[in-house]
Amino acid sequence: MSKKSKKNIGHNSINKELLQSVVERIENLEEEKKGIADDIKDVYAEAHGNGLDKKTIREMVKLRAKEKEKLAEEEHIRDLYMQALGLGPSMLE
């Protein structure tokens, strides 16, 4: 590889202020993300304390986030598989 094809990445070519700004913004967002994750964990604990099933709530949150068409398609396929395996509604009651 010739010298001309190498990128100039020496320490003098880095915009230090930009780099520091980007890193600090990411650090701040990571800290906010951790705080939000802790808040979500607290809400699940509260729900569990009130007699709700955390696993089922997590499933409901995931289902509500999906597009309606995609969700309907997944439910249809799941129903077909359940029927094929003899897991009809009477088996689930």
Q: What is the pLDDT of residue 67?
A: 96
pLDDT in tens, 73-90: 999 999 999 999 999 766
Q: What is the pLDDT of residue 88?
A: 75
pLDDT in tens, 5-48: 555 566 678 999 999 999 999 999 999 999 999 999 999 999 99
| In a domain? residue 31 | yes
Q: Could you tell me the residue range of the domain that residue 26 belongs to? A: 14-52
φ, ψ dihedrals at 85, nearest 5°: -95, 5
What is the C-alpha separation between 89 and 93, in angstroms, rounded? 7
Q: Is the pLDDT of residue 2 over 80?
A: no
Q: What pTM does this model have? A: 0.64
* Domain count for the chain: 1
| In a domain? residue 81 | no
| In a domain? residue 71 | no
Q: What is the pLDDT of residue 10?
A: 60
End-to-end CA separation in angstroms for the chain? 69
CA angle 61, 67, 70 (to 5 degrees): 110
| In a domain? residue 68 | no
